[in-house]
Chain A
Amino acid sequence: MENNDGLGDKMSKLLMFEKPVGMRDTLPHIYETRRKLKEAAEQEMRSWGYRFIETPALEYHETVGDASAILDRQLFKLLDQQGNTLVLRPDMTAPIARVAASKLLKERIPLRLAYSASVYRAQQREGGRAAEFEQIGVELIGDNTISADAEVIALLVSVMKKSGLENFQISLGHIRFIDELFRQILGTEERSEQLRRFLYEKNYVGYREHITSLPLSSIDKQRLLQFLNLSGGIDCLDEAIKLVEGSAGSEALNELKTVYDRLKEYNVDQYVTFDLPLVSHMSYYTGLVFEVYADGVGAPVGNGGRYDNLLGKFGQPAGATGFGLRVDFLLEALEQLEEEEGVHCILFSNERRVEAIEEAQKRRANGEYVLLQDVAGVKDVDTFTQTSKNVTFFVGKSSNGGKV
């Protein structure tokens, strides 16, 4: 046997309380708040006709891992017995696309699906960011109409409100508008991608410098520079239309305008602003894109958009749109944690045990939360009952000696 008593071995041994970077425990009061938030959100999705599904935590790297919008270096990877590379699902959209393409799309189209599940993303650097977190969202598959895009955003607003959030905002952009504008001015896909990357990296200084260095007419440079300012109210679409020529770019703008009109009909337009330079992914989205921001949370609480190319990767081309919300960020935005549901505490001594059990069962049948505790097992009754709503004692000899 090896001698494991060396100092070096002791030094490197993990302490019992340690967990991997980015992994978090959920303690009771946070669990309760999260449960209520999720229930409210899930109920809202169900009431819009979305059906919940679950998929496995592990998928093949080659299929779902590859199709996912999440960067490869953010994936947790492991090997199965046959040597295949597996990933812990980094999002739910790709697994749902897999299921939809292989089974559900043969059923009823358009398909409305919802999910509420943990996803996993490896953290490159320091802590402060969760590597496992719950996402809740919907996918509307096989519907290419603007109505589908509008429905998803309207549902998003509704879910946010049902979760108890009021102070939030959705920024709306359109990937095809950017593509068309850049293609018109720059000519090649390669140059467009270069410029799009500055937007993706939120590097507006770099974007401006890059434009200055390009061999373009001053009018075209001006068009590209003005594009950066296209954010805010619906008016910015009027400015945007001046920047593009021809139909494709203005088609995208029309979609934005139409969606906005539809959102007015849903009466949720006050939550929406435009942000045309918004590029939330380099290649994943194909049309409308959006991000949701809530006061008090440093990163977007959710995002979504149209991704018409994903289903094709699983052999069943179909348009799709949807959104995903991060439950941990929603909790952060809520600020206040729910009070824990009050528990009725019944302390009994052995003589009156039967009485106590009956009382507990009666109260539980009435929907109360009842905790039954042998008083002999408690060290300090005051501390133990501190958080209880009510306390009943069945202690000492009763008139009939504990028998009923």
Chain B
Amino acid sequence: MSMLTIAMPKGRIFEEAAALLQEAGYQLPPELDESRKLIIEVPEENMRFFLAKPMDVATYVEHGVADVGIAGKDVLLEEERDVYELLDLKISPCYLAVAGLPNTSLNEVAPKIATKYPNVASTYFRGKGEQVEIIKLNGSIELAPLIGLSDRIVDIVSTGQTLKENGLVEYETIVGITSRLIVNPVSYRMKNADISKLVTRLTDTIAETAVQ
């Protein structure tokens, strides 16, 4: 039986995701995040893990080079990949929000929105019947309204601390975000036994955590 390949997101979500897998009884090597290796095999579990940029996890899973992945709902909304979204892992909760400088309104002629999530932002504003221009940025989104690039930003908010530090306020909440277990459609069938086991164990762990 071939190994189950799991794509893990680097950074913020990683630790919580790894802890969840360990709670679910999977023996992950402790050095997973410190190791400079890109791919780590865990023969005892017949699994291998690799670390990817959070935004790329769904891409690896869609192409089938990873059977399973852990990805934020923000990534799934933005990327619209053809993968199964099987479980809400309920970790790394945050939300997507519209923010900007206090007491400002949208430019009436050509309102500009800076974001790392052009797809989500454009769908959201179109849904409200507002025609906006989306400007794609790759990081430090808070800078955009401060320096005058855009009227608003659409970005992920977890504590609101970053916004506050930069003197920005939230105008609207778009959608709540947690991390999800995603699965490649072919792996879902061809490696069904391993994946069902993973889903069952994770479901139990999530339920226990919720009770506590």
Contact = CB atoms under 8 A, between A and B. Distances in A.
B122 to A, nearest CB: 14
Interface residues of B, number: 19
Interface in A297-315: 297-300
B190 A295 contact: yes
Given A128-B63, A205-B180, A297 B84 contact: no
Contacts of B87: 204-205
B186 A298 contact: yes
B178 to A, nearest CB: 9
B190 A298 contact: no
Q: Most B CB atoms within 10 A — which of A205, A209, A295? A: A205
Contacts of B85: 202-206
Nearest to B65: A298
A293 interface: yes
A43 B82 CA distance: 33
Contact of A298 (B88, B184, B192): B184
A307 to B, nearest CB: 21
Contacts of B113: none
A209 B87 CA distance: 11
A205 B86 contact: yes
Interface in A186-243: 202-206, 208-209, 231-232
Interface in B173-190: 180, 184-186, 189-190
Contacts of B82: 202, 299
Given A297-B64, A298-B64, A202 B186 contact: no
A139 interface: no
B83 interface: yes
B15 to A, nearest CB: 22
Contacts of B142: none
Nearest to A275: B189
Q: Most A CB atoms within 10 A — which of B2, B186, B190? A: B186
Interface string B84-96: 1111100000000
B62 interface: yes
A169 interface: yes
Given A297-B64, A298-B184, A299-B64, A204 B189 contact: no
Interface in A280-303: 293-295, 297-300
Nearest to B67: A298
A228 to B, nearest CB: 9
A209 B88 CA distance: 10
B186 A297 contact: yes
Contacts of B186: 293-294, 297-300
Contacts of B2: 295
A273 interface: yes
Contacts of B64: 297-299
Contacts of A349: none
Interface size, A (range): 20 to 34
A204 B83 CA distance: 11
A158 interface: no
Nearest to B83: A202
A171 interface: yes
A193 B83 CA distance: 20
Contacts of A294: 186, 190
A196 to B, nearest CB: 16
Contact of A171 (B84, B184, B189): B189
A208 B184 CA distance: 19
Contacts of A298: 62-65, 184, 186
B100 to A, nearest CB: 29
Interface string A5-17: 0000000000000
A204 B190 contact: no
B86 A293 contact: no
A209 B84 CA distance: 15
Contacts of A171: 189
A38 B176 CA distance: 49
Given A128-B63, A298-B64, A298-B65, A202 B185 contact: yes
Nearest to B191: A295
Interface string B34-75: 000000000000000000000000000011110000000000
Contacts of B84: 202, 204
B81 to A, nearest CB: 10
Nearest to A209: B88
A169 B189 contact: yes
Given A205-B88, A298-B184, A293 B63 contact: no
Contacts of A203: 85
A187 B64 CA distance: 38
Interface string A111-148: 00000000000000000100000000000000000000
A124 to B, nearest CB: 9
B78 to A, nearest CB: 12
Nearest to A126: B59
B62 A293 contact: no
Contacts of A300: 185-186
Given A167-B190, A298-B184, 8 more contacts: A202-B85, A204-B85, A205-B85, A206-B85, A232-B192, A293-B185, A298-B62, A299-B186
Interface of B: 2, 62-65, 82-88, 180, 184-186, 189-190, 192
Interface of A: 128, 167, 169, 171, 202-206, 208-209, 231-232, 273, 275, 293-295, 297-300
The 8 closest A-B CB pairs, nearest first, are A298-B64, A202-B84, A293-B186, A203-B85, A205-B88, A293-B189, A205-B85, A298-B63
6 contacts: A171-B189, A204-B84, A204-B87, A295-B190, A298-B64, A299-B82
